[in-house]
Every structure is written in C-alpha cells, then in structure tokens.
Structure 1
Amino acid sequence: MARNPKVIIVDGNLEARSELHKMLALAHVAVLGEAGYGVDAQTLVEDAQPDVALVGVEEPVARGLQTVEALSASYPNLPIVVYSSLADGASVRRAMLAGARDYLTQPLDADTVLSSIRMVLDQEEHRQRRLTGEVPQIAAAGGTVITVFGAKGGIGKTTIATNLATALVRETGQTVALVDMDTRFGDVAIMMDVPVDRNIADLTRRLDHVDRSNIKEYLVQHSSGVAILPAPSHPGDWNVVSPDHIEQIVRLLAQTHDFVILDTPGTFNEMVAAALEMATVVLLVTSMDVASIKDTVLALNMLRSWSFPREKVKLAINHANVANSVKEKDVVRTLEYEVFWQIPYDEAVTKSTQLGQPIVLTKPNSRVGSNLIDLARVIAGVRPRQRSVFERLLRR
C-alpha cells in the first residue's frame, strides 16, 4: 500500500465533495483534485494519477454509476470507493457491479474513509501479486485448511471457529489445530478457557528453529483435543508477524494436523489475504442484518476480482432464525450466492461462550450444538448422524 495515499473526489454535488475534501485535509490525506461526473472525472484521473478515487453516488444514480463503470473500465488498477446515503443491498450491489471496490454509507467520518482507502489499496496490491503468481500455495499433501472469514466483526466467527474445531475432533477423531489470527481482539483463548503462555508471536520469533518435530511445543492443548495457537495478549506483538510467517506456520500445521482452522478478524488486511489464499475451504460468515449483508457483498466482489475459486467459498448464515431479520431468499438474491449452511440463534451459546466451553461439548443435542456438529461432519466428508426421537425432542 502507498505510504501516503493520494486520492481524488468525484461527485456531482459540489458542496458534498467540498465537505469531504475538507475532512480529508484535516486528516492529512492528500487530495489531488475534485471533479464532477463523466469526462471531467476521466480527465482528472488521467492528469492526477491518483491511488484511489472516491465517488459520490446519489439519486438519480445513473450518472454516478456510469462514471464508476467508465473509470473502472479505463483504469482497472484504480480502486474506486463509492460513498452514498443509499444503504440498501440493491444499491450496494449496483455499485459493485459497476466496479466499486468498497461502499461507504453516509454520514462519513475520517477514520472510516481512511480505513476504506487502506483496505482497497491492500486488496489491489494483493490482486496484483495474485496476477503475477506471487501468492502462497499450501502443500497438496497437507491437511485441510479451513479459513473462517467475515467482512464484519460481531457476527460470531470465533464462536463458529472454536465449535467447528472442537466438533471435528469429537466427530472424526482426527487432529485439529486452531489458529487465532484476529489481529485486534483474539478471543479464541478466552472462548476455549486456555492460558496464553505461548502464542503466534512467540512462534514467529523462533520460526527458524521450528519444524514438524517441535511445532507442538508452541501450541496450547485443549481438553477436547484441539491444539490452539493463541493470538498475543498485546496487539502490538503482531508487528513481528508477516504474511510470509503465516504461510510458513500454516504449512507446518497442515503437515502435522488433519485440519487447520484459521479464525480471522472482521476486516481485510495482508494476514487475512494469506489466510484466504491458503484455504482449502473458506467459510464466509454473515448474519442476517443489512450491514453484514452489505459487507458480504463487498467481500464476494473482492474475491471475484482475484478470480478466487468460487467452489472454495461456502456461505454460512449465522443467527438464521432471528425474527424480523432479512429473509434467506433476499440474502441469496442480493449476494447472488447460494447458502451452504444456516446456524440458528440460541441464547445458550452466549452462556457457553462466557464459561469458556464450546456448546458442542456442553449441549451437543441442543439445536445449535447439533447444527455445528453436522457442519463439522459435512466439511469433513462424514454423513450427518441420524438422531433418535428423544434427541430431536431435546433440540426443540
């Protein structure tokens, strides 16, 4: 990513683009110029050679989207971020189809815009690396790598990752490693109630001396049999970990374990890109709220821009039975993607999480416990088990 990214602002509303320009100037972002739609926007890109284009789109949206489409076609390496007051899924999808890399809903703040600029530049850098073949490839003989990914925080990724790991051990009897890659919060150790006396930063510092014979010395063993590589207690310790380190660590774990689960943060960064590239399966998690679905549209668009294999990406809806939420048919229509798995909402999950006990162990016959066990069995290629009438009654 450019150290000091340079941007342009394209908007048919002179007042709106002027306000955004002032906000970015106060945040010390270099704004190379402003323009309206159409030819003016094309000319500004040609003259300024920006790193990112910020484009405002409001009703009537046709002119703004035509400009996004024209810029995307003429400058395919230029990331475009659309900002708008329109927050519905259809508007997001139209902008993505026109060529936008991210979509921000107003009102805007400097932190959100800066985060978006960094994200789309990281995505573009990774896309370029992918085009030139400079991306990690996991050893074919290794174990199955499952990356649990979602474009938004707070949607239950870590709960799914911890229960999936536990259920895989429980149902298959095979070896499972769980890696906490959340560079911001890292809650795996808390949810599994294990000490963080060694972590991924410690392993990275000694990586030159680690191989298949001793990597288990850096893993924390859970009573279920899951081997955990926790995140550091202090986020600053992630500074020693690079995407290349992640590649080496996952390779080693895949050579020593049947399954490797990677729990990623609710954002995009180089670590997440490495986790996605090395995955055998990507479990893309969304909840049924509009914000999560909007972010999932962006995530799928990003993966398409990489020519990421569609068959690797499995869409999982968490809290699928929550009342007054978006319906599944609307999710499928908005995302243009089939649903692989639906995980029901259950208050027992919150209590289980607070106790540091995966619900697949504490309440395996509950509705959500049996659902996550079945998910593990399907991913492992094992037929979901048949339940007795008594077990089915317990799930109600």
Structure 2
Amino acid sequence: MKVFVVQILFVLSQVVAWASPAADSLRVSLLTCSPGKEIFELYGHTALRVTNLTKESDLTQNNRTNDLVFNFGVFSFNQPYFIARFIKGDTDYTMDAVPFDVFLKSYFRDGRHVEEQILNLNQAESHRLLQALMNLWTQENWSYRYNFFKDNCTTRARDIIEQAMDGHIVYAPSDKNKAISYRSIVHEYTADSPWDEIGQDILLGAEADEPIDGRAQQFVPYHLKKAFSKANIQRTDGTCLPLVQQELQHVSDTAAVPAARHISPTVIAIIWLLITAGIVALRWKKKDTGYLWFYDALPLLLQGCMGVIIAYLFLFSSHPTVNSNWLLIIFNPIPLLYLPVALTKAKKRKKDYYHAIATVILLAFCLFAGIIPQDIPTAIILLAWNLLILSAGHIVICNPLKRINK
C-alpha cells in the first residue's frame, strides 16, 4: 500500500511538472481500442492520450509520465452492491491515468489492437484539455453516473475535447437514407455473440429501435472514431482544418483468441418448440390428462423469472430504453406468482382459467409481433409459440369439461 501511494505521488508530481505552461509541445490523441471477449468489452473502448513532446526523448522505464492515457471507463466489481446497482442503473464510473506503454500492454496481452488519431489541437486547447483532465483526476472520489447509450467512456472523451476547443467541431452529416438505432448498433458488435445479443435484446425496449442522429451514434468507440476522421475544427478566428492530423495503428503481436462457437438461442428455441409440439400431440393422441410436473412447470418458471427482471427494469431501472419494453406483455411476474396455484389445480384436476387467458394473450402476441414497434428476436417469438402450444394443450387435453371436477 505504501509503495502504491508513493507511485501515485510520483506520477502526480511528474504530471504537474510537464503540464505547466513551460511545456509548450503537448499532443492529444483519441485512442480507440478493438473489442474483447467479455460482454463489457464487446464494443471496444475509448481513451485519451496526452504526450509532452519536448520530453518524449527522455522517457525511461522509471519516468513514463510524459505520455499518459486518461480513461473514463474505470469501475470495480468490488464496489458495495455492484450487481444490484448495475441492474438498477446506478453504477458509478471514474477516470484514471496510466502511462501509455502500460495501457498498450494491457490490450496487447489479449490480442487487441489500439488505433490512434492525433488531433489538430493547438497548444492553448491542449493545455485546456489537460487541465480539465487533471482537475478530474486529482479530485477525491470523483465519479459519474454511467449510462450505456448517453454517458460512457466514449461520450466523456468526446465532450471534454469539445469543451477545450477554441470554436467548435463540425461533424459530417449522417446518412439520412440509412435508419440507424441503438439496437442496430448493438447488433453490429454482438453478431458473433448470439447469447449476449439476445440477452440485451430482451432487456431493450421500443425506444432502442427509434432512429438516432449522428451524435447519438457516437456512444460506440468506432462510431466516434469514424466521426472524428470526417470532422473539422471551426475556430473562432474563422480558420477551419481537419480535426484529425494523423492516424496510427498499434497492433499486437499476440493473436486474438477467437470466440468460442455455441449453439444459438434460435436453434435451441426451434428444438424446444418441436419437442413441445411432439409431447402435446402425443398426449392428445393417448388422451393423457396427467400433469408432467417438470415439463409443464419449467416454462412457467422460466417465463416468470424473465418477467421479474423485465418488470423490475421497466418500473425501477434508470437504464435507457428499458421502460418501453413490449415483452412485458408475455414476460412478467404473473406466471411465477401463479405457479403454485397452477400446480395445485393440476394435481386436483380442477379447471384452470389461467391457460385460457394465457392462450389468448400469447396468440395475439404471436400474430401481431410483426407490427409491434419493437424488434422482437426470432428466438423470443419461437418461445412465445412454445408457451402458446403448452397453454392451448392444457385446454384441449387436461381441461375437457367431462374430465374435470368443477
């Protein structure tokens, strides 16, 4: 612990020294890091590099503070109640600074590369930016409330650059002929991770499918990188020049480990649907009115558990777009709460109106899923058909009037 404190004090002293007005050759770069394997790495990462060129030739293993990377994406799983706060949308992120070579090695170890865009900031803008970063870094317990779409490591880097400008950044207009939404951007990065994709699709509501403008699209690192590459600086003195001066590639020698291939949720849903249809058809043919406890209870349990999560996010979470989720129609806590009653009625061969109501709701959802203003995953539609067949099967097989004790 003492060694760590000494290192921090050393870094601070060095940064304060080269961040002084005497350091007249600062260079600012936007760093865009390639995606990783973990779910929180799927979209890549953004950071800011600030280099003091007048001292660059003097860099040694013991003095690397003339070349720092400022990173707004710092969080800790060890924070109190991290999981609960993350689900609710109350996660706080902070900023950290590390030497550039340390930052680079951390990505190279995983076979990830870093793309650098050297910005056309003048010295006044560079110093203003560095001062703003230093004020945040040295502020005790500074943090910000993370928002995946609107306030993250990428948007923070963009905003602090814009605030340091003598003038403003002019971005190229977005393609109005191409409808882009939050969900479509998410799908760009989850195409090779189908389980991560469906997990996020289940949680995101209809607002995630609304078209967004070019600035809103910059919440993803590579979209910001692309926007910067086409942007210009319009200064107050009337001068205009490209925002990006030069682009560099920092490529790892370590080969990235390819993502493991897993059977997709859609395939699982198809297999389950075929099994369900086969079991219902077989029971109907054999006039089997017995209750398959495990198989009949499992869908209600799954439906209810998914419903608890969706309903909680819908009602209480501050995460964006989750409060407009049409999946709440079929995935809500009611099946989970009703499960003990359903099991009791099935055991006593009593008529159960739940399945009649569920059949109507599920049939309506399946028939009109195409016009719901929300992109519903194919696997979810197949799961809804699965639940529909089960509920309809109960009506036809288990609840014929002549077999039921009213």
Do Structure 1 and Structure 2 share a fold, with TM-score over 0.5? no
As a proportion of its length, which structure holds more helix? 2
TM-score (norm 2): 0.24
Q: Please give the TM-score of this superposition, normalised by the length of structure 1.
A: 0.24
